Amino acid sequence: MPVLTYYEAKQRLAKGDFPSFLLLQGEERFLWREVIGFLRRRLEARDGSLDYVEWDESAGEAEVCQMLATIPFGSERRLAVINNPSPAALENYLRIANPSVVLVLLFETRLKASTRAYRLLVENGWVVDCSPLRGKDLARWLVEEARSRKKDITPTAIEYLRFLCGDSLARLRQEVEKASLYLGGESKVITVEVLKEVGSRTAGRSIFELVDAVAEGKTELVKEALAEISAQGQPPVLVVALLSRHFLMMLEMACLLEEGVLPQKISEAMGIQPFVAKKMLQQLSSFSIAGLERILEALLELDAALKQGRGNPQLLLEAALIEISIKKPLTLQGKR
């Protein structure tokens, strides 16, 4: 059987197709738990009571083998989960034929297809790819999360959430849950406005607001944005790194536009989310290429000052950004 995706595995389980062995491989542990939870619910729906047992890497091979070989007491089925077993132990586990046990094996790294254990798994069970969700797969996951709460979510809201939370499925689920609870039964659609109303503050979101304040030359807003970032526990060195990355992306965008890339194609050219590109395009109208280069030079100097301990980190950060915001209007001179 070929390697299954997360969605293909869920579809098969939903149809009542249960393997004897299930290998979940990939670094997205959240998907491991999603598949295990879904499998457990489906088995309980079919068989009633279920004996669940899980072992970590320190589990003794003899103990695990004994549990896999015995019939569960008081239950129709046993769901056994083993984290990162050794290759030798894995082969021994796969040789145990017990129709009352469904065995799930968890590996962050991929098993080599040439190994005997992998061949046994492919012949008698499923191999499921649990790599982090990206692009359309992540958008699909968000749509399903909303629908599971009897809500719809707009494409713009999906892009906003991806900007806000990155690819963290746990944080994405939390934001969808909060938005759904906020809407209650009165409204069915999760929009950007709803997410802004209930969404938690993040460093990424605050960085955009800080850049807005710098672009507008409003020192009080700069101070407020910095205070909020500080309240999140973000160290000044990290804030400078995030700002530098942001302004570097803006500089790249400005250069691409100057080379003739159309604004509607900029997200594809840069490999960033459309929502992020749209926001950056708005910010870019207040900066020139020369101005962005000067800001990056100032941030480089600030980074060195922070790392060399030339003063109070928070005061150094605030002073530098206020100076940048005051001088910012000069960046529009000689715009190229």
Q: What is the pLDDT of residue 336?
A: 44
Closest of 203, 228, 153 to residue 183, by C-alpha: 153
Integer Cα distance of 86 and 74 in angstroms: 30
Domains 6-129 and 135-198 share a fold: no
Whole-angstrom distance between the N-terminal and C-terminal Cα of the chain?
Answer: 57
Integer Cα distance of 169 and 173 in angstroms: 6
Do the beta carbons of residue 190 and residue 153 sit within 8 Å?
Answer: yes
Q: Where are the domains of the chain?
A: 6-129, 135-198, 203-332
Alpha-carbon Rg for the chain in angstroms: 26
Closest of 174, 217, 195, 207 to residue 325, by C-alpha: 217
Q: What is the pLDDT of residue 331?
A: 41
What are the structure tokens assigned to 262, written together?
A: 């159309």
* CATH architecture designation of domain 203-332: Up-down Bundle (1.20)
CATH of domain 135-198: 1.10.8.60
| C-alpha distances out from residue 66 to 62, 63, 72, 101, 161, Å | 6, 5, 11, 12, 46
Q: What is the pLDDT of residue 329?
A: 41
Do the beta carbons of residue 253 and residue 284 sit within 8 Å?
Answer: yes
Q: What is the pLDDT of residue 241?
A: 86
Q: What is the pLDDT of residue 250?
A: 92
- How does pLDDT run across 15-35, given as a tens digit for each residue? 999 988 899 999 999 999 999
What are the structure tokens assigned to 105, written together?
A: 């094996």
Q: What is the pLDDT of residue 333?
A: 37
Q: Which residues of 89-104 are buried (b: 16+ CB within 10 A; e: fewer)?
A: bbebbbebebeebbbb
What are the structure tokens assigned to 27, written together?
A: 């670094």
Q: What is the pLDDT of residue 35?
A: 95
- How does pLDDT run across 219-264, given as a tens digit for each residue? 888 888 888 777 777 788 888 888 898 899 999 999 999 999 999 9
pLDDT tens digit at each of 336 positions of the chain: 678 999 999 999 999 999 888 999 999 999 999 999 999 999 999 888 889 999 987 788 898 999 999 988 888 899 999 998 888 888 889 888 899 999 999 998 888 888 888 888 888 789 999 999 988 899 999 999 999 999 999 998 998 888 777 778 988 998 899 899 888 877 899 998 888 888 655 556 677 788 878 877 788 888 888 887 777 777 888 888 888 988 999 999 999 999 999 999 998 898 887 778 888 898 898 889 999 999 999 999 999 999 999 999 989 999 998 888 886 544 433 344
Do the beta carbons of residue 44 and residue 50 sit within 8 Å?
Answer: yes
Integer Cα distance of 237 and 313 in angstroms: 8
What are the structure tokens assigned to 125, written together?
A: 């069970």
Secondary structure in 3-state letters for the chain: CCCECHHHHHHHHHCCCCCCEEEEECCCHHHHHHHHHHHHHHHHHHHCCEEEEEECCCCCHHHHHHHHHCCCCCCCEEEEEEECCCHHHHHHHHCCCCCCEEEEEEECCCCCCCCHHHHHHHHHEEEEECCCCCHHHHHHHHHHHHHCCCCEECHHHHHHHHHHHCCCHHHHHHHHHHHHHHHCCCCCEECHHHHHHHCCCCHHHHHHHHHHHHHHCCHHHHHHHHHHHHHCCCCHHHHHHHHHHHHHHHHHHHHHHHCCCCHHHHHHHHCCCHHHHHHHHHHHCCCCHHHHHHHHHHHHHHHHHHHCCCCCHHHHHHHHHHHHHHHHHHHHCCCC
Q: What is the pLDDT of residue 334?
A: 38
What fold characterizes domain 6-129? Rossmann fold (3.40.50)
Q: What is the pLDDT of residue 6?
A: 93
Is-above-0.95 flag for pTM?
no
| C-alpha distances out from residue 138 to 123, 155, 158, 217, 246, Å | 30, 12, 9, 37, 23
How would you class 45 by CB atoms within 10 Å of its CB: exposed for 0-12, middle for 13-18, buried for 19 or more? Answer: exposed
